[in-house]
Structure formats: structure tokens, C-alpha cells
């Protein structure tokens, strides 16, 4: 039985809730704990504002105020449709913890002493990170196997932030450069050993927002596949080399606009090709 603890960024995170519920339903997994980071601390608000700037307002609106409604108008599978399919109970992680009888604590930071003591008490084989900031060494060293994260970029080429936008901006054919990577976390930024990759194909009319919405259910599936693969020994990790990729940072609004135009141009060229050479 694989013992798993889930780290979550906020109690209402739909992604975190689906990950917990999906893992708890798996007969080979025991979810031994949930650690939720509270959003209402001065340090967190100030650090996230320094990182995201005015984008933080949109982020809070989508992830906190809208909750499930943020996904309601999107065609195809989203976290919301996945939640309905698996009959996700409750409205937050506290409800889910009660439903599955899983210990849960809320902490100011995933790296603080309360979080560390909780994780040591429930001695997980694997910790699944679903968001909530940088993880420090004393937490990284707790699980027997490691801490899993699903990165919305293809590693090692695209580490860091806004990697979908950067991939479109830099490449004539972005289809070969957009995807997900399940990896172990380490002291670096998206530099830990790689377990699984999944390419994400662009669709006509895609925006950066729609690509991310389509990625989210894939992330859940990739985490479950990774847990099962670690359990039965089928997965072998591949170490990254520091010089294999680059770390990207928040893209400037002007460059994001350019990437957005390049995405539109890519769709236009694809459509023109279909008209000229119908399949």
C-alpha cells in the first residue's frame, strides 16, 4: 500500500480535491494526510504579488471566488466535468477529509514546523504537491520516495513560469513543445528527476487559457499513473542535467501579446493548409 500525503494551495482548489479523491479511491493507495496552505497571510499575499503583480487579482478571482464556475463554459473535459464524473463530494478539502476520514491541517506555509511535524507523523512514501509555493529541504527529505509535481511544461527544456507562452513564442511549430511533465521536486526549479511526459496537441481556436484548462484533467491522470508506476516498479526516473534546459520567468505583457498573435497565426496557417490540401 502506497502511503501518500497531499499538499494543497487552498482548501477550495478543485485540482487538489480531485487528486485527493482519485487517490483515496485507488485500492493501492492510502492517503494518510492533507496539508492545506492558508491564503490569508501577509507573507503569502506580498510574495505572490511580487511574483504575479496585477495578475494575482485574476488568479484569486478564478481559483477562490469562482471555484467550479470558472470551468463551466469550456467545451470538452475540464476539472469540473471530471468532478461530476467521479461524483466529487463536498465543497472543499475539509469536507473531503471528513468523507474519507483523512487527517487534515491548515498551515501558514508548507515548510513551517507544524507542517513538518504532521508529515513526519504520517510518514508518507510519496508527497503529491498540488500547489502552494516553494518546498524547502527539510520537507523534501521527509517522504521515502519523494515529492511529485506535475509541471505544465516539457522538461528539461521549459522550466519555470509561463512556459506555454514561451514555447509558442519561440517555436514555429509549437505543437512539439507544449506538454506536461511529472517529476520529483528537488532544491531547484523544475529540475528534479523526470518520470512521465505527455504532449498536448493544439486545437483550432486555442488560447493560452483553454490550453491550461485542457491540461488540468491530464495532470490528475498523470499523477495517478505516476503513483501506480512507482508502486509496481514500472517507472524509472530520468535525471535532468542543468545545461539541458532553461528557466523561464513571468512573460512581459508585450511578449505575451506577441505569443498570443503567433498562436492565432499558427491556427490560421493550419486552417489554410486544410483548405488547400483537405484530408
- Quote the pTM value: 0.90
Give the per-residue pLDDT at 278. 46
The pLDDT of residue 275 is: 42
pLDDT at 47: 62
Fold for the domain defined by 2-276:
Rossmann fold (3.40.50)
What pLDDT does residue 59 have?
57
Domain residue limits, the chain: 2-276
Give residue 279's pLDDT.
44
CA distance 29 to 66: 31
Span 191-245, pLDDT tens digits: 999 999 999 999 988 999 999 999 999 999 999 999 999 999 999 999 999 889 9
pLDDT at 33: 98
Q: Which residues of 249-270 are buried (b: 16+ CB within 10 A; e: fewer)?
A: eebeeeebeebeebbeebeeee
> What pLDDT score does 271 carry?
63
pLDDT below 50 — which residues of the chain? 56, 66-67, 275-279
pLDDT for the residue 277: 45
E-state strands within 178-219 = 179-184, 194-199
What's the rounded Cα separation, in Å, for the pair 59 and 57? 5
Amino acid at each position: 500500500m502506497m502511503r501518500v500525503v497531499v499538499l494543497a494551495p487552498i482548501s477550495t482548489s478543485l485540482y487538489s480535491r480531485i487528486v485527493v479523491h482519485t487517490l483515496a479511491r485507488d485500492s493501492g493507495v492510502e492517503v494518510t494526510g492533507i496539508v492545506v496552505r492558508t491564503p490569508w497571510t501577509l507573507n503569502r499575499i506580498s510574495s505572490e504579488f511580487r511574483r504575479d503583480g496585477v495578475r494575482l487579482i485574476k488568479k484569486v478571482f478564478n481559483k477562490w471566488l469562482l471555484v467550479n464556475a470558472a470551468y463551466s463554459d469550456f467545451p470538452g473535459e475540464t476539472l469540473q466535468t471530471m468532478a461530476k464524473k467521479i461524483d466529487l463530494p463536498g465543497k472543499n478539502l475539509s469536507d473531503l477529509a471528513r468523507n474519507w476520514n483523512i487527517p487534515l491541517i491548515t498551515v501558514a506555509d508548507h515548510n513551517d514546523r507544524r507542517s513538518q511535524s504532521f508529515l513526519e507523523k504520517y510518514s508518507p512514501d510519496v508527497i503529491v504537491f498540488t500547489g502552494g509555493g516553494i518546498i524547502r529541504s527539510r520537507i523534501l527529505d521527509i517522504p521515502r520516495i519523494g515529492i511529485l509535481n506535475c509541471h505544465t511544461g516539457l522538461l528539461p527544456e521549459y522550466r519555470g513560469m509561463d512556459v506555454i507562452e514561451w514555447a509558442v513564442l519561440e517555436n514555429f511549430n509549437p505543437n512539439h513543445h507544449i506538454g506536461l511533465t511529472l517529476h520529483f521536486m528537488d532544491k531547484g526549479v523544475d529540475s528534479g528527476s523526470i518520470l512521465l511526459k505527455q504532449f498536448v496537441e493544439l486545437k483550432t481556436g486555442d488560447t493560452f487559457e483553454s490550453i491550461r484548462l485542457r491540461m488540468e484533467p491530464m495532470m490528475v491522470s498523470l499523477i495517478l499513473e505516476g503513483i501506480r508506476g512507482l508502486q509496481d516498479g514500472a517507472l524509472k526516473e530520468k535525471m535532468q542535467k542543468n545545461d539541458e534546459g532553461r528557466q523561464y520567468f513571468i512573460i512581459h505583457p508585450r511578449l505575451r501579446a506577441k505569443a498570443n498573435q503567433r498562436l492565432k497565426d499558427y491556427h490560421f496557417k493550419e486552417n489554410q493548409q486544410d483548405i488547400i490540401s483537405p484530408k
